[in-house]
Structure 1
């Protein structure tokens, strides 16, 4: 059985530009290697397309070093798409560049107008509800505005708190299927996932938490053998993707795409 939270006909991604080396990061662990990042991105796109999905690949935005992390610009649901309002000032302009693409795919396109802020990386849609973690990039006002739209569309929103030191809610979790969450023990200890089956990241491999279920495969950051073994044992078909350079910018598997089922 398929779910609109895990099965998609389309995805949108954006090529990393040369300016990505100046992207935001919580901790400076060095600049990403643009050539290596492009190769990893090619693998990412090829993996999505291999599931049968149509992938729209957008050109780089050199004025926006973090624009490859398209997930933060919008939330795509079965009823339509909602344009976000990023909490990082340098990323605010990315939303306008994404709007025309989504306008061609959704009949109902809404906007978070502010004054609050919210980013897609803080939102986990499970099929039965929308989990939103407040963070340094997502505030209560942004969540409240999103709730009004979701109420109209018949979705339940549960407001949570992303732990201190964690950039986005989905930095520490991902949806493996409508009933199962992959999570760090830290995030799960907040009681975020009551009612779900939770698989904890093995100790020392917490950085593998941001994976994506896309149709019948799970895209997982490469280099985390215990996590890969656990998910394989649980019956998931995993596809390891090099995330070395995105991780330097606090990015992961979900950040690199918008996954959707168009209404147009």
Structure 2
């Protein structure tokens, strides 16, 4: 039996720099408090370690305020890493900055061909396929190039269109086990994943849809008690993480690490 797609032994994370307070945000709820954000990031890395992941820590990149969100400029699999081309112009150099670290950790590092754009936040891996969501950050050209690249690695790929207003595909959904998806009601009703069991986030708690299953635990943002209780009733080992400052940057749990 192949390993679960939610089982990980290694991860890459990047410490937030001082410039993170200038990070991108579609909804401006004010700049995050730097000291608090650093505590949240440290708590996230500590939790990954506690659930069995060895985390490779990278130094801050002050020239790229969003560079702590390492999932967007790259994808990683056991057999290879892929450098992407983020859709936000201010993030275009992050892949090149990440490349030397990836080359020390993976047998092969590929680059997204063409001129299109793709963010890792729009890519969801399931046991059967890789789903790419079209968004303001991932365009049709980038998705098509990524389909071809993933196909060369033997991956089956589906391109889907999330509902309007979804920043990244994984803003509105995440795997909580191999064949079970946690999703907002809008994404669930879009029926993009017919082969998955979908758990709908309770009304009013939509931001918690970006959860992260790592080995035996489901990591979710603190402050969403209905979802925490729902997942606990289904038998999941729920770990609550403080993410108030991180979420001011339109970010969540999956985007702060690359896992394999």
The Cα of 1:4 is off from its aligned counterpart by: 4.5
Contact 1:221-1:240 at 8 Å conserved across structures: yes
| Corresponding residue of 1:6 | 6
1:6–1:215 contact (8 Å) kept in structure 2: yes
Aligned-pair CA distance for 1:52: 2.0
Stretches of 4+ aligned residues off by more than 3 angstroms: 1-4
Distance 1:78 1:184 in 2: 30
With the length of structure 1 as denominator, give the TM-score of the two structures.
0.96
C-alpha distance in 2, partners of 1:188/1:132?
A: 16
Deviations along 1:128-155, whole A, 9 cap, x unmatched? 1001100000011111111111112211
Alignment correspondent of 1:258: 258
Q: Secondary structure at the match of 1:228?
A: helix
1:159-204 Cα deviation digits (max 9, x unpaired) = 0012221110000000111110000010111111101100000011
Contact persistence 2:11–2:56 (CA under 8 A): yes
TM-score by length of 2: 0.97
- Which residue in the other structure is 1:159 paired with? 159
**Residue 21 of structure 1 aligns with which residue?**
21
3-state SS of the aligned residue for 2:86? coil
Gaps of 5+ in 1: none
1:3–1:127 CA contact under 8 A, matched in 2: no
CA RMSD of aligned residues (A): 1.1
**1:201-248 residue CA offsets vs partner (Å, 9 max, x unmatched):** 001111100011111111101100010011111111111111111111
Task: Please state whether the residue corresponding to 2:220 is helix, strand or coil.
Answer: strand
CA contact (8 A) 1:3 1:178 kept: no
**Distance in structure 2 (CA, Å) of the matches to 1:196 and 1:80:** 26
Range 120-129 or range 144-153, more displaced: 144-153
Count of residues in correspondence between the two structures: 260
